[in-house]
Every structure is written in structure tokens, then in C-alpha cells.
Chain A
Amino acid sequence: MILKNNLKEVRQKNGLTQEELGNYVGVSRQTIISIERYRYKPTLELAMKIAAKLNTKIEKLFFFE
């Protein structure tokens, strides 16, 4: 099972760039890019911050496949 996410789609729906989202949750643009490309698994705290900023539930953002 691989941890994946639909961060990119949800972020674009919310009209945010990678940099803007990164600034809101306190990480760099490179970190957001790495998460979207499944290269980096965020901590629970960061995942919850991202979900809160994108007005979605964490389990709808991150899932196993």
C-alpha cells in the first residue's frame, strides 16, 4: 500500500499556488512539490494544517492505494 494524495487538485480548486499554500502552512514550495509528487510523507501536524487550509478532511486528502 502506498500513501498518495490529491493535494494538487484540491489546491488548484482552492485557487492557491504551491508557494501560497507553503507560506500558509509554514513550509517551502519544494516541500509542497515533494508532497504532491508522493516523494515526501508529511507529518501528521503538517497534513492537518494543509487539510484545514484547503477546507477539507485529512482522510479525503491523503489515502492509501
Chain B
Amino acid sequence: MTISKKETSILIEIFYSVVFALVFLPYFYENQNKNLILMDGLMDIIIQIVISSVIYFAVCYSILEIVFKRKESRDERDDMIDSKSYKLGYLLYELSLFIIIGYICSQLQNKELLNLTGNHELYNSFQLTDGGIVFLILVLLASISIIKSLYHFYLHRTN
């Protein structure tokens, strides 16, 4: 199975998204119940993410340029495939926005219901934290990135 330069670059993106999800998301999962300001090592994680992504893409695309010496020009078919995958990505981002808003509203509503029951102990322990929202956002973004890139790759192989 021969793979073109464009398809290889899409696979590079997919691989990074998966590795990002496996390596960095557990930290945010463990800190879901904390506010951002209380998370230990948050700045370290952010710096690691930035540095690792810069190094990863710099190395991969350099190797890509060396392996695929010939420049591949973009044509109308590439534009059509990009449009289709961006359309899917756009729809998924819209859906994720509704999911995030729904999550926040349901958490707030649950908290108010607990307040009405008079169970103050449970009410006080129930928190809508920055960490939970950030974790949800990162999970959705990583999922959308993987789905969009897989669809992009599928279109390149089948169109």
C-alpha cells in the first residue's frame, strides 16, 4: 500500500493526537475536582505540551521532507477533500459546544437541587470546578481532532 505525502502528514497528526490523549489527559483527569489555581504542576504540564508538540512536528515534518523529496502540488481534489473534512470538524465543534454548555448547566442545576433538599453536606461537597470543565474540553478537542483526521485520511484513500 503506497501512501502519499499528504496521507503521511495526516497520519502524523492522528498519531500525535492519540499520544497527547494518552500521555497528558490522565493529569487533567486526576485533577478534575480542583480549580486551575490549585493544580500542582499545571505550568510544567503546559510547558511539556508546548515543547513536545513543537519538537514532534518539527522532527516529523523534516523527515517527511527528506523521505518525500518531490514536492506535491495542491489541486482541486485536495481542496474538495479539505472542505469536506473541515465541514465535519466544524459540525463536531458545534456539537461539542452544546455538550459543554449542557454539562455546565446540568452541574449547576444538580447543585441547586441539592440545596433545595437541605442536604448541606452534599451541597458543599458538590463543586463545578475549572478542572472538570478543562478536562471535558480537552477530551472533546482530542476526540474531534482524531475523528476529523481519520475522516480526512479516509477521503484521501477513497476519493
Contacts and interface: CB of A to CB of B under 8 A. Distances in A.
24 contacts: A26-B73, A26-B75, A27-B75, A27-B76, A27-B77, A28-B4, A28-B72, A28-B73, A28-B75, A28-B77, A30-B4, A30-B77, A31-B75, A31-B77, A34-B77, A34-B159, A39-B158, A39-B159, A40-B77, A40-B80, A40-B159, A42-B76, A43-B76, A46-B76
Contacts, number: 27
B6 to A, nearest CB: 9
Interface in B129-159: 156, 158-159
Interface in A29-64: 30-31, 34, 39-40, 42-43, 46
Interface of chain A: mostly helix, strand, loop or mixed? loop
A54 B156 CA distance: 26
Contacts of A40: 77, 80, 159
Interface residues of B, number: 11
Given A34-B77, A39-B158, 11 more contacts: A26-B73, A26-B75, A27-B77, A28-B4, A28-B77, A30-B4, A31-B75, A31-B76, A39-B159, A40-B159, A46-B76
A47 B159 CA distance: 17
